[in-house]
Structure 1
């Protein structure tokens, strides 16, 4: 690691480039590993369910969906408190501590004897895991400019998808090599191994995570680099106020909280193909596939999700246009839902449809990068908006799978596919709304600002020039 930094320094990087190399390495290494284990420990229930847990715990009806719903309820409960705790407790302490909590709970899941024990464990695990997603996006928005944020958000999001991808591959390998070892079923070994992976990464976070620029004491940053880190975002992080009721009034008095929360609350439901492991349930229900195939085949969707996320985010950083990614995502999921609705279509077409649905995850990194950019001038609003986006999406997730994707609907999920088409249409409408409100704010700011930090254009310029000026300001 140090050798890599020296190599970069040897190429005579400028101070800012050297700073980016360091924060890319140390922030992204921990955030990505943390989110990798977050999704690894979250998706393992889906893999365990189709690998013997259902039969061993005598699960019936929609109990699988109830496990996910209780996890989501815990996630909702912990969302805002976890985000506010980052304003009180240093992130380098809080985030690894929460990771240790959910790692221990993952170990506990390997010992359960009834589905009701899983209900309780997953609820508490949801509270702990809710610290990661919005918390990391808050940290990324504190260190990176808008033109740098999309790719970093995509790398972070892809690390979670890699956890899902690895979980399926890991479960297949565990089932093949460890099933029955020491009298434990293969799905129980999955939780043990996941816990073993999680805890050392949490310890790594305690030592290297740098907090935010204004408070960082990271050993690998010089005094001049700490000053530069704060100065780089000084124009977009100036509203440092103590938490108070005025904070709530300020946030609720603007359009940002409402529109951004609505955007991810709706668009996030396009991920239902993957979050409910519909492909795995479909393969198990139609029969003819081994446990290893049921674990491995859905990995194609995750691989396409990672590819879509990285490609789209790279494009958005260059173009500074976020909305086209949501159009791409909604279009792909609409096509997927139609292909699955036409039940007599060939099996190969259904494989294609499920894999294409991986495009839904491209909107996750883009939507949060967009919100970071919209709220860049108010760090408290940014933290609350990011947490609220994730919270409201999970409020819907708490009941959405039970109603529209119950395990008893496998393999067709007829209601769910109709709902998916409706969600995609609603995503397009809300995307346009956020796009319109953001540009209206840019025009208003350009019209009233004078020469200063925002470098606002003179009155009478075209709207497009005002928008370009806003991009320069970011």
Structure 2
């Protein structure tokens, strides 16, 4: 009996037979997470808005990445430009120096100019009209790009395309925050962001296919066909949005929602004021808000941790490899591993932070560690005497760096969560401000630290990556403390306001 009295043996056996309190708590949380209790009719409502909101937003963002952009909000509109650049455009249009970066900066300038007006417009123009109309404009501009004959004309087109695309990312996050509860938001934000990353990944294969099948068809280069096909694919999605997008819970006229479902949609989100934003008091309160500056700086820093991916550094590394010459297909296809890592990381962290009760800030610490580690790996590879021997290490670093895309979904969901009890247009402006600030910095950041002429090692950029990664960890810690305290206070204030309104109604 191992020297134990029988009573102690039974006690130990009983303890072993019973699951620990921690295990039981974890199982209960998992059961609660995957089996959400809905009000009568609520599950049917969520299914409908999932279908009609996510299909349009994800298709829009997918084409925006696969056909127009390589990156998110805070990054530039460049996926098809980068793919075209390494597929013959550089040689045909005689690009020199950092002209590619200057074109990207022109897009960013337009993107920045359009940010605040675009989201403010959602107060006056129905999203069902505004979003698809912007898609039609950018589709037309993309097809016009196929006729360009020099870098300057492409830069001009991309500026106006940036204005048209300004609301794609932040406008969608505003819509998601308007319809979904805190428990639902992270997963939907993750799915939306992952659709853009899937577009980035597939964009390379699209370009490779067009290059092999349409190059010099009717006298047009493959990269010119890319822009024509991009625009044509976008138009049916815009038509779908005109017909089916549901606007916001308070303004929806969607024919597929019953009156009871429309009322239920309104009841699922906090009853906050929705005042017209064009007033001096509104802008003064916005520009003096800690939320505005706190989340803007957060996304400025986080946006630059995505520089490895958003500036297509792996493709530029391959294009300028010291010893190896890659084919056009390899230049388009090998970098797709970066957004693939981003998709996995985005969905994992978006789901995990939902499960952990909205602790979106945790991803900031993960991104900080990833940024420091991957930059250090590239700096180490640069010191190799044999460039070919260093290649696997560089590829591994860039693929791992793709995981930083997780901050897109979680940080914008974090802002939506923190502002859930604020008026709608204030939330819209904070979301737009995040993107605006990031792109203002990125307009020159990409040229200073990741210019195409700095390939293949981007040494200056690697040190900048280490710096912003450390800064992100520090800023995340401070902002998480402030937002948690404010949310507790606003919930209490809102509960008091609701009780006071009920008392007034009873007295009346």
Which residue of 459, 463, 467 maps to 1:418? 463
- Aligned pairs for 1:82-101 (under 5 A) are 82-101=118-137
- Distance in 2 between the 1:239 and 1:440 partners? 22
Q: Which residue does 2:23 correspond to in 1?
A: none
2:205 aligned with 1:165, yes or no?
A: no
Q: Which residue does 1:246 correspond to in 2?
A: 281
Q: Is the 8 A contact 1:259 1:433 kept in 2?
A: no
- Distance in 1 between the 2:122 and 2:492 partners? 35
Offset at residue 253 of structure 1 (A):
3.8
Offset at residue 422 of structure 1 (A):
0.4
- Distance in 2 between the 1:410 and 1:329 partners? 24
Which residue of 17, 23, 42 maps to 2:49? 23
Q: Which residue does 2:332 correspond to in 1?
A: 295
Which stretch of structure 1 is more off in the superposition, 433-442 or 25-34? 433-442
Q: Is the 8 A contact 1:333 1:357 kept in 2?
A: yes
Structure 2: state its 5+ residue gaps. Answer: 1-37, 70-78, 500-508
- TM-aligned CA distance change 1:217 to 1:444, over 3 Å: closer
Q: Which residue does 1:41 correspond to in 2?
A: 68
- TM-aligned CA distance change 1:307 to 1:385, over 3 Å: same
Q: Is the 8 A contact 1:333 1:356 kept in 2?
A: no
Offset at residue 447 of structure 1 (A):
7.6
Q: Which residue does 2:391 correspond to in 1?
A: 347
Q: Which residue does 1:4 correspond to in 2?
A: none
State the Cα deviation string for residues 31-86 of structure 1 (Å, max 9, x = none): 01111111221210010001100000000000000010000000000000000111
- Distance in 1 between the 2:89 and 2:490 partners? 57
Offset at residue 254 of structure 1 (A):
2.8
- Distance in 2 between the 1:386 and 1:95 partners? 16
Q: Is the 8 A contact 2:123 2:276 kept in 1?
A: no
Offset at residue 252 of structure 1 (A):
3.0
Q: Which residue does 2:248 correspond to in 1?
A: 212
- TM-aligned CA distance change 1:13 to 1:239, over 3 Å: closer
SS across alignment from 2:149: coil
2:454 aligned with 1:427, yes or no?
A: no
Which stretch of structure 1 is more off in the superposition, 70-79 or 279-288? 279-288
Q: Which residue does 1:390 correspond to in 2?
A: 435
SS across alignment from 1:398: helix
Offset at residue 196 of structure 1 (A):
1.3
Offset at residue 363 of structure 1 (A):
0.2
TM-score by length of structure 1 reads 0.90
State the Cα deviation string for residues 435-465 of structure 1 (Å, max 9, x = none): 11112324545787875659xxxxxxxxxxx
- Distance in 2 between the 1:282 and 1:381 partners? 42
Q: Which residue does 1:459 correspond to in 2?
A: none
SS across alignment from 1:156: helix
SS across alignment from 1:111: coil
Would you say how many aligned residue pairs link Structure 1 and Structure 2?
Answer: 442
Q: Is the 8 A contact 1:15 1:225 kept in 2?
A: yes
- Distance in 1 between the 2:452 and 2:332 partners? 17
Which residue of 382, 401, 404 maps to 1:360? 404
State the Cα deviation string for residues 333-377 of structure 1 (Å, max 9, x = none): 211111111112631111110000101110011000000011111
Which has more radius of gyration? Answer: 2
- TM-aligned CA distance change 1:448 to 1:92, over 3 Å: closer
Q: Which residue does 2:362 correspond to in 1?
A: 324
- Aligned pairs for 1:227-238 (under 5 A) are 227-233=263-269, 235=270, 237-238=271-272
State the Cα deviation string for residues 93-148 of structure 1 (Å, max 9, x = none): 01100000000011011111111110100000000011111100010011001111
Q: Is the 8 A contact 2:64 2:196 kept in 1?
A: yes
- Aligned pairs for 1:95-174 (under 5 A) are 95-174=131-210
Q: Which residue does 2:413 correspond to in 1?
A: 369
Q: Is the 8 A contact 1:333 1:359 kept in 2?
A: no
Offset at residue 245 of structure 1 (A):
1.9
Offset at residue 331 of structure 1 (A):
1.2
2:297 aligned with 1:279, yes or no?
A: no
Q: Which residue does 2:303 correspond to in 1?
A: 268
Offset at residue 251 of structure 1 (A):
2.1
